[in-house]
A and B are shown apart, each in its own frame.
Chain A
Amino acid sequence: MTAILRLESRKRVRGSVVLIAVFAVLSALYFSMFPGIQEEMDVFEDAFPEYMFDMFGIEQLHTIEGFIAAEIYSFFWSLLLAIYFAYVGAGLIASDVQDRKMDLTLSNPVSRESVVLQKVAALWVPVVALNVGVPIIVYVGALVIGESFNPVALAMVHLLSIPYLLVCAGIGLVLSVVVDHVRRARATALTLVFVLWLVDSVSRVDPDYEWIGTLTPSRYYEETDILVHEEYAFLDAGLLLAVFLVLIVVATVVFTRRDI
C-alpha cells in the first residue's frame, strides 16, 4: 500500500526543484562576491556590533566556511528552508480534509495511521533532493573560485540539518491535524517556526537569557560549529529526531480520533 506515498512524493518534486534552483542562484551570487570582499572581511567584522554576530552565529567570515555558513546556512537554510518544511507539513492533512480529498482517500482500505505516515514519508523527496543537490552546488562553487571546502563538514552540515528540518515539518503536521483550514494551519506553522528561530537568535545575544533558546529546535543545529569548528553534535541531532517522532505520534493519535 504505497499509492499515497507515490502520489505525495510526486507532489513534492516541483517545490524541491524550485528550491534547489534558488540555492544555486544564491550560491552563485555569494561565491562570485567572496573573492572580492574576502580581504575586507576583517574590517566588516570590526564594523558591525558583536550582537549581530551572536544572533546569527557568525564567525570567521574571511574563510569560505565561515562565509558560506553565515550567508547561506545560518539564514536561508535554517530559516527559509525550515519555514518551507513547516508549510509543507501544515498542508499534508488539512488541505486534503478541506477540499474533501480525504473522504475519497479514506474510502479505500487504508488506515488513518497509514495515510499520515505515507504523507510524512513523502518528505524524503525534498530532504534527499536538497541535501544532495545543494552540497554539490556549494562544493563545486568553492572549487570554481579556487577555494576548497572540507567535504566532511559540508556533508555534516546537511546531514545534521535533516532532523531539524523534520522537526519543523512535524510542527506543521501537528497543526495540520488540529486546524481545519489549510491557510490557517500553514500561517500558524510558519509563524511559529519563525518565532522559534527568532527567540533562539535573540536569546544568544545575552548569556543570561541564552537558556530561553533551549526550547527552540534551531538551538540544536549549529551550522557555524559544524562548518568552522568541525564540531558535530550527533546527540543534539538525535534529540531533534526524537522530537520529530513524538510530533508524528501526536499528529497520528489526534488524526485517528477526530472527525474529518
Chain B
Amino acid sequence: MCAQTETAEIDSDRDATTIRLDDLTKRYGNVTANDAVSFSVDAGEIFGYLGPNGAGKTTTIRLLLGLIKPTAGTADVLGADITDRRALTEVKADIGYLPDSLGFEERLTGQQVLDYFARMRGDERRAELLELFHPPLEKPVETYSHGNKRMLGIVQAFMHDPELVILDEPTSGLDPLKQDRLHAFLEDERDAGKTIFFSSHVLSEVQRVCDRVGIIRDGGLVALEDIDDLLERGGKDVRVHLAEPVDEKRFTTPAMIDVETVDRTVRFTYTGEANALLGHLVRFDVEDVEIADPQLDDIFKHYYGDSTPGETG
C-alpha cells in the first residue's frame, strides 16, 4: 500500500513509517478478529483507528505489542518485526501504551505505580504530565475512579517521552474537560514530532484530533482516509421539532440525507457545514433542535455498505 523506495536511506525509511501492518490476521477458531489488515502510520501523525466496539481494534493493538501472535501476516513497529520478540522488546523503550482496561497493582498508591514503571523505562516528563493530569497520587489505586485511573494511565504512557504512543480508548471515563485537555496535549505532542496511534469508537473525537484514520469493522479494514474526507462523510444526526407541519420538499436541502418526517418532527443526517444548516433552519418556525454525533454503525452503513468490507480511500 505504502511503497517505500529501496534507495531511501535506512534511517529516513524508518523515520517515515512508524507502524506498518502487512495483511495482519488473527483468528480464534472460526472467529476472525483481524482479517488481513494492512496500513501504515507515519512518524509525526495522529492516526485514528476507528471502529465500533468489538470490531478488532484492541486485537490489532495487542498484536502490535507482541502480546498475541498473528495467525498470518506481519507488522513492523519502530522498525522491529512483531514476530521478532527480542527486537520488539528493545523498541518498547520508545513506546508508550494506554490499554483500554487498565491493570494496575491495586494496592499500590499512584505514586508507587509510577515509580514502578519509571524503574523500567524512565520518567523524565512525569512532573510536567502531572500538572496536566493529576490523579490522587498518595491514594491506593483501588480507591480510584475510572477517570483517575485513566489519568494515571496517561501519565505512565507518556512519562518516558516515547516516540510512539498507542492509546486504546484513551478518553473513556474522562470528564469533558479532561478529554479536551488530552486532545490538546496530543496535538502538541504530534507537533513535537511524536506519533500517536489513537483507537476509538467515538467518531467526533477522531475527527477532532486525528490526521488520518483507518476504519475497522468486523475485523477488516474498510477505509483508510484523510480526516478531511471523513469530515465530509461524517455528518451530524439532526432532529428538528417545528411549530407546525412542514412540506418535506421545501424543508429538505441536498446536504440532508435519510430524511424522515413524522408530523412536525424532521430527522435527517446533515452532511454540509454547520453555518449553512443554521442559516437554513432560521427560515422555519423551529421549536426545538437537537444536533448529535451519528452512530458509527449508521455511518458505516451509509458509506461502506452493509456487506463485505472492502478497502476504499
Contact = CB atoms under 8 A, between A and B. Distances in A.
A250 interface: no
A104 B121 contact: no
Contacts of A260: 67-68
Nearest to B115: A3
A50 interface: no
A18 to B, nearest CB: 15
A3 B120 CA distance: 6
A15 to B, nearest CB: 13
A205 to B, nearest CB: 45
A25 interface: no
A109 interface: yes
* Residue from A106, A107, A109 with most neighbouring chain B CB atoms (10 Å): A107
A256 interface: yes
Nearest to A99: B103
A6 interface: yes
A176 B91 CA distance: 28
Contact of B95 (A3, A107, A111): A107
A100 B105 CA distance: 10
Contact of A108 (B69, B99, B103, B117): B117
Interface in B77-124: 85-86, 89-93, 95-97, 99, 101-105, 108, 116-117, 119-121
A111 B81 CA distance: 15
A87 to B, nearest CB: 18
Contacts of A259: 67-69
B103 A103 contact: yes
B29 to A, nearest CB: 13
A7 B105 contact: yes
Given A107-B92, A109-B90, A260-B67, A101 B121 contact: no
A2 B115 CA distance: 12
A104 B102 contact: yes
Interface string B107-149: 0100000001101110000000000000000000000000000
B163 to A, nearest CB: 13
A112 interface: yes
Nearest to B162: A107
A3 B114 CA distance: 11
A1 interface: yes
Nearest to A6: B119
Given A3-B116, A7-B116, A100 B99 contact: yes
Contact of A111 (B65, B86, B91, B97): B86
Contacts of B117: 3, 104, 108
B120 A106 contact: no
A102 interface: yes
Contacts of A104: 97, 99, 102-104, 117, 156
Interface in A71-119: 96, 99-104, 106-112
Contacts of A7: 105, 108, 116
Interface residues of B, number: 29
Interface residues of A, number: 24
Contact of B65 (A1, A106, A112): A106
A112 B85 contact: yes
A109 B89 contact: yes
B85 A256 contact: yes
Contacts of B95: 107
B62 interface: yes
A144 B200 CA distance: 68
Nearest to A108: B120
Contacts of B96: 107
B173 interface: no
Contacts of B93: 109
Contacts of B92: 107-110
Nearest to A7: B116
Contacts of A108: 92, 117, 120-121
A110 to B, nearest CB: 6
B119 to A, nearest CB: 4
Nearest to B68: A259
Contact of A96 (B68, B85, B101, B103): B103
Contacts of B105: 7, 11, 101
Nearest to A260: B67
B52 interface: no
Contacts of A2: 119
Contacts of A3: 116-117, 119-120
B66 interface: yes
B121 A109 contact: yes
Contacts of B156: 104
A1 B69 contact: no
B99 A106 contact: no
In the A-B complex, the 10 residue pairs with the smallest Cβ-Cβ separation, listed nearest first, are: A100-B103, A3-B119, A101-B103, A107-B97, A259-B68, A108-B120, A109-B93, A109-B92, A3-B120, A99-B103
8 contacts: A3-B116, A3-B119, A100-B102, A104-B97, A104-B103, A104-B104, A108-B120, A109-B91
Interface of B: 62, 65-69, 85-86, 89-93, 95-97, 99, 101-105, 108, 116-117, 119-121, 156
Interface of A: 1-4, 6-7, 11, 96, 99-104, 106-112, 256, 259-260
